[in-house]
Structure 1
């Protein structure tokens, strides 16, 4: 996801790229009982954040970063005892902000990947996790595989590989969710529904272990249904009700975002895409299609 390209007369440009997510296939407690922690299995999507650094002389320009990404640059340089050479930053992203696509984390990871290339260093996920842990609760987009991840503690509980993949049709509802503000609500919900979440996570992990996309899709649907009890989405019930009619294998959501969509183990036919688009339009939303996962 990183690369280097040299153009005569324009210096050296290096790039860092990081995929985003379509919410999660699971978000809930790690285990039943006790004090729950936020455990997630992020749903990677083939949409990205790009960060470029071009070595050039001249006055430094303010980088086109938000505060969190700028802090990540400072932490990287400080921890590794490095000084950034003269140059110019530029960015691009096709990830929605504040909707559940992990845009903030992807921006940080893409920037850190770019910095590893600037200094010709091997990419080190442990350095990335350490920097993320100092900045924000994060998704596992710094890994190029599925993972069961404790987002608050920044700990990979289990790597789940790259065998599973889905085609998706999804929408973005208006508004955003303040994760910090809803944390007490969610933790209370996790305690009340601990047994159901435990079964859901067990089924999800079995599906990954068996390389069984339909089983993973069923567990993701259960997680989405449980999420609807705590943070309801206005279109969810209609989307769930039409799942079988469209031949979808499951439903997914951004649990603390605004994405809602279908999981398909096989690419939907053009006629089905037409019907999906008409259905979502009838709900007042534009449908998008994207490849999620890796398989």
Structure 2
């Protein structure tokens, strides 16, 4: 083998939906992650063996990959990693790191990066987002099961902020499940509307359902800026509001790209709340 081998995985801007798959006393946590053009990279260069500068979860993923394929060791070489994704704020940074590592390893050994293998590795490490797919999906994050693929017809322009702090998803799971039991019927209607929007290719309908999911999330894991962001949605002509349900992101969804005047007004609004605004394209479409 010669030359550099890389693995890349996109992250998310939180979720368009996070809640129960259906109303009931024992809810599964279902997510429709919101893919964004921000990434994690893992690179391998053949040569002298060096320690892997990867995180604990990526190292575990590498070990599980080798075990699954009956491989005894990695070839000698150096590793580097880079990420655009903030840790602990709802951008799926650790899942993206793991998937990028698995994709790099698949390239090193000239093996296909099989989705079932990726899901098996993720299931052994953490609750995950569906960043291993290049499309939207309704995904059971704890069971690591794709319920429905939702395609690539929907895309949004976004303006968002990241509030200070981080969120430990595992630590808030019991709070989320109790909330889902209380508001199961509202979540079920929200998910039905979201899936209808995806089925029709109606981005505005998806944005409305994402707003409902964000409002429901505010009851259990509130964002400091959320109420003011929601209250100014019509002023900026945004089609919806989204959040990282177990993170620190809050922002607007636009079906059409906001012009420079609106971008300036958005930036001033978020700065008045004490935050730097970021613009990014999410989804596909």
Could you list the per-position Cα deviations for residues 180-207 of structure 1 after superposition, in whole angstroms to 9, with x for gaps in the alignment?
A: 2211111111011011000000000000
**Equivalent position of 2:39 in the other structure:** 48
1:112 to 102, 111, 114: 102
Following superposition of structure 1 onto structure 2, how do residues 63-102 of structure 1 map, counting pairs within 5 Å?
A: 63-82=52-71, 83-102=73-92
Cα distance in structure 2, aligned partners of 1:126 and 1:260: 32
Comparing 279-288 and 171-180, the one that deviates more: 171-180
SS of 2:125 mapped into structure 1: coil
Residues 1:61 and 2:65 are matched in the alignment: no
2:19 to 3, 28, 34: 28
1:251 to 226, 241, 246: 241
Residues 1:141 and 2:131 are matched in the alignment: yes
Write out the 4+ residue segments of structure 1 that deviate beyond 4 Å after TM superposition: none
Cα distance in structure 2, aligned partners of 1:113 and 1:79: 14
Cα distance in structure 2, aligned partners of 1:258 and 1:124: 32
Could you tell me whether the CA contact under 8 Å between 2:50 and 2:76 is conserved in 1?
Answer: no
Counting matched residue pairs gives 284
Cα distance in structure 1, aligned partners of 2:28 and 2:89: 22
**Equivalent position of 1:3 in the other structure:** none
Following superposition of structure 1 onto structure 2, how do residues 162-181 of structure 1 map, counting pairs within 5 Å?
A: 162-181=152-171
Cα distance in structure 2, aligned partners of 1:36 and 1:244: 34
Cα distance in structure 1, aligned partners of 2:121 and 2:90: 21
Residues 1:214 and 2:212 are matched in the alignment: no
Give the TM-score, by structure 2 length.
0.98
Cα distance in structure 1, aligned partners of 2:265 and 2:256: 16
Structure 1: gaps (5+ residues): 1-5
Give the TM-score, by structure 1 length.
0.95
Question: Over aligned residue pairs, what C-alpha RMSD do you find?
Answer: 0.9
Residues 1:12 and 2:3 are matched in the alignment: yes
